[in-house]
Amino acid sequence: MKRILLISALLLAVIFTVSADRRRMLMTRNVTAAASTFDIGLSSIAANADTWGADYAICMRVQASASGTLQKAFIYVNNTAVADAKVCIYGPDTDSLVNAEDLKIGTSAAIAGGGSAGWWPSGGSSMSGGTVTSGQYYWLIIILNSSSPVWAVKSENSASVTYFAATGHYTSPPADGSSFIGSGSGSFGRISAYVTAQ
């Protein structure tokens, strides 16, 4: 009888130990799955009102604060203009130039401003995928449609943006940055636009 009770006690101990281990594994999975979201680009509303015409590619050098997969793109539209744009991420960048080393990592669906001033689209425009690595630099490039009206945006004072004419790139953003070379450039403040990653 004592032997039976001892065996029963040992079996119960094993069951409780396995159950505890399973609970710990599930908790670890849940913590891993709940990765935090971070922004790449300028996610605050800059002070200056600015406008951009059709068919430009606006290139901003940005740094990833963490590693993750691209999720949603946003542009702050400063009026009710109805225009089409796409946001792309190229890189990683090591020389502060938009060129062939900067490979296309992800592209957003079309973004159309309109309705009222604010972040467009309100729920974000889904990116095609792609990942970024913490600490590395990338180019966030806003490609405006050739048939779009003027985009009214918000920008900073500091000259940290390079822009290029981008004929034909809206429909099919190029595979790397070499297509933007030599098509015109200038320096302006960063635009309120960003991509989320997780």
The pLDDT assigned to 67 comes to 98
Asked if residues 94 and 25 have their Cβ atoms less than 8 Å apart, the reply is no
Q: CATH second-level architecture of 38-197?
A: Sandwich (2.60)
The pLDDT assigned to 14 comes to 37
Entry pTM: 0.78
Query: Is the pLDDT reported for residue 91 higher than 90?
Result: yes
The band of 53, judged by pLDDT with boundaries at 50, 70 and 90, is confident
Query: Is the pLDDT reported for residue 183 higher than 80?
Result: no
Which whole number is the average pLDDT over 134-143? 95
The pLDDT assigned to 141 comes to 94
